[in-house]
Structure 1
Amino acid sequence: MDSKYTVNRSEALEFVVLMQYIEAMKTAVIPQVRVEPELRADLDSVLLPGETLTEFVEASVRRAVEFRRVQTDFAARCDASLAAYERTGASIPSDVVLSKLEAKVAARVKQLRK
């Protein structure tokens, strides 16, 4: 083959798979955000080697979304617990709750130290 372009089979396959993934993925754009030059410099300084600003922003947004979901779920459980208490008047003493939590932490620490 007398071509100035040669393609490795595995690279070609990887490219085709990537293009199919991108083609199948519906994307949306996150709006641009204006920040002070100092914040942008701080951001650039913490990027990992080879990491792009886009990758950093996407990962940060994903973590923030997950954090908000956890917050919302926690608040819903709190509301349900309060409603149950107001309805029944039954509750668990705080020392019992704390003891159970301390036992869970101790068991996890023991498991991690193995």
Structure 2
Amino acid sequence: MKSCTLPAVRVEPELRAELEAVLGEEETISTFVADAVRRAVDFRRVQTDFHARGEAAWQDYLRTGVSHPVDEVFDRVQTRIDARRRELQGPGT
């Protein structure tokens, strides 16, 4: 796939100086900006999915009237977190 160019962004000289001061040894402003845009797009996608799931859950509640106590939900989430933690730690740790 052929690459394309993002529009130029005007910033204050102070911000550019701060950016240059935090760049890695082999990092360029272009790679920094491309990475920042990638992360922002990923964040927006996750945020949009989160809102869609919340809206679907709300509509489901309005349709059915069925809800779950917060303690039950927290317990289920904690159980999943604990199981994943054990899975990541592996045997013998």
Query: Same fold judged by TM-score > 0.5?
Result: yes
- Equivalent of 2:10 in 34, 38, 58: 34
What are structure 2's unaligned runs of at least 5 residues?
none
Percent identity of the aligned residues? Answer: 51
Query: Following the alignment from structure 1 to structure 2, what is the Cα–Cα distance between the partners of residues 61 and 70?
Result: 14
Output the TM-score relative to the length of structure 1. 0.72
- Does the alignment pair 1:88 with 2:71? no
Query: Following the alignment from structure 1 to structure 2, what is the Cα–Cα distance between the partners of residues 87 and 57?
Result: 44
1:69 shift after superposition: 0.6
Output the TM-score relative to the length of structure 2. 0.86
- Does the alignment pair 1:70 with 2:46? yes
Q: Which has the larger radius of gyration?
A: 1
The residue number in structure 2 matching 1:18 is none
Root-mean-square deviation (Å): 1.4
Partner amino acid for 1:48? G
The aligned length equals: 90
Alignment map for 1:90-105 (pairs within 5 Å):
90-105=66-81
